[in-house]
Structure 1
Amino acid sequence: MTVPDGAVSAVEARLEELGIVLPAVVPPLASYVPAVISGNHVYTSGQLPLINGKLPASGKVGADVDPETAQQLAGTCAVNALAAVKAQIGDLDRITRIVKVTGFVASDPSFTGQPAVINGASELLGKILGEAGTHARSAVGVAVLPLDAPVEIEIIAEFI
């Protein structure tokens, strides 16, 4: 499925409707690539909530970052992951399903709300992709993430 020149894909139209601008792919911070294709799946590397190359917040959720902010940052990670997928397949309308979302939350030792934080990514993917955005998921609390980010998301997307 390709979009004719000058036309906007249905997914891109939905992004625009939601007021979301798909960013350029975030350059790797180390020795990896943002996403790879294997068969009919795109596997993204972990995506941080970088906006214009900067973290809008840093630290541990439940101490330095409140859960609501972390949830919004998880959505930013999901948008960055979609940008990485688009860079591989060209057209987000080719996505048939987000198969899996894995979310990592840099957590204060007493914080146990990781699933609610990662809902920020899951719910946004559903709003953007509809039924194709429903997925299996893991939400994992970790001690620290790269650049002291509060959250990191990786996705597996199936496409045609």
Structure 2
Amino acid sequence: MTDRYQQLINTPIGRIVSKQVGLPAPSRLERYEPGQPLITGPVLLGAAPGGRLAGAAAAVLASVQAEAMTAMEDQLRSAAASAGLHAGIWNPETAAADQSFKALVFDTSGIDSSDRLLEAWSFFHPSIRRVRSSGRVIVLGTQPESCGPPEAIAQRALEGLVRSIGKEL
């Protein structure tokens, strides 16, 4: 379904009128079309130490033949290798300034206390600015209802993190 406002704003006269009235120009979103690759750019995979879902995430990325990179943690690298994901290593300190990602995938299932929430910050702080337009951020976690109190508190805090990331992007 087409968006009539976006069509109008993208015409020459529509641009002139929208600038004079002060209407925002909507950004063009990428839409999936049959036959297109599922993801059209590199994916950065990360996990908190002890994460239980990184292997499954790596297997999904391998099955769709995604171009992937992982953070430098050994546990994550071995999970990616055992899933058949051929991923490069991403080091935020040595990465090129223009390097960007179509998606960020982070496994938070290893965060079992509020003290370990720093793991999420350590992953997203250097990488969130590198998400391309129409990019995705996927945070994998544990349902708070199925955890003990300290882990449930941490997993609930991650819900707030996801909302904040959504507003930023």
TM-score by length of 1: 0.30
Higher strand share: 1
Larger Rg: 2
Relative contact order, higher structure (CA 8 A, sep 6+): 1
Greater per-residue helix proportion:
2
Using the size of structure 2 for normalisation, the TM-score is: 0.29
